[in-house]
Amino acid sequence: MAVHEAQSYKDPGTFEEQSRRKFLANATLAAGGVITLVLGVPLVTSLIPESLLNPGKSSGGTWADLPKSQFDKIAAGGDPIKITFDFKYADGYFPPEADEQFVWGIKLTPEQERNFKARRPDLYALETRVEYPVITQSYVIFSSICPHLGCRFAWVPDAKRFICPCHGSQFGPEGAKLAGPTPRGLDPLPFREKDGQAQVTWIQYKSGQAERLIVSYS
Ligand code: FES
């Protein structure tokens, strides 16, 4: 009896039986692949900034309102204006958290706008550019984070430049690097006007390097 069972175990069966087994095995593999795709793709894509998945889009994140009372102080060719605002910070599957940030806003004169690319070639070069429009309706909104090591710089009206208190990096009104250890100029943020409301997407770039690498965004 034992010998018979061993022999029947080795018996590959008829051609139809083999075909059916092969079909069932392939179907199981295919179903497993579909389940992996259905569950895996949203998991992976949720961890990648949308701007990297859709580089043609103007912004990958959410939009935060800039208070009108502060934004309206920006004048063409005038001093940069500090604008404090609230935004919701999204981090993977965690619920969004409210946070307060500030940015620096400028409005370019027609002449500044014509010369902007020449003054900020880093924002258009292949390795260091940003994937969204830098100038919107003549406005440029800068992140307040120093590209050197992440301190907060400030506009110094008497010097007519942004100066970082930590290691002395200095930037011109259009954010160009003028002095100090910073490896790049200031980082502009995605900006838009929607139904009369100025909005930005908060993006944090990796500090200490010339290339702009996104480390977080709202
Ligand atoms: S962090 Fe701004 S100069 Fe170093």
Question: What is the per-residue pLDDT across 128-169, written as a single tens digit (0 to 9) for each?
Answer: 999 999 999 999 999 999 999 999 999 999 999 999 999 999
Select from 46, 64, 79 the last residue of a domain. Answer: 46
User: In angstroms, rounded to a whole number, what is the distance separating the alpha carbons of residues 24 and 26?
Assistant: 5
Whether residue 131 sits in one domain with residue 182: yes
| Model pTM score | 0.72
Whether residue 200 sits in one domain with residue 101: yes
For residue 136, the domain's CATH number is 2.102.10.10
Nearest ligand 1 atom, CA 146: 2
Model confidence pLDDT, tens digit, residues 163-204? 999 999 999 999 999 999 999 999 999 999 999 999 999 999
Whether residue 108 sits in one domain with residue 38: no
How far from 189 is each of 22, 50, 123, 213, CA to CA, in Å?
56, 15, 11, 13
Nearest ligand 1 atom, CA 149: 1
> Cβ < 6 Å from ligand 1: which residues?
146, 148-151, 164, 166-169, 180-182
Whether residue 88 contacts residue 98, with contact meaning beta carbons closer than 8 Å, is answered with yes
> Which domain, by its residues, includes 195?
50-217
User: In angstroms, rounded to a whole number, what is the distance separating the alpha carbons of residues 98 and 145?
Assistant: 18
Q: How far is the CA of 206 from the centre of ligand 1 (A)?
A: 13
In which element (H, E) is residue 162 found? strand 161-163
Nearest ligand 1 atom, CA 151: 1
Whether residue 189 sits in one domain with residue 93: yes
Model confidence pLDDT, tens digit, residues 74-133? 999 999 999 999 877 666 666 667 788 999 999 999 999 999 999 999 999 998 999 999
If you search the block for the tokens 């029947």, which residue do you land on?
A: 8
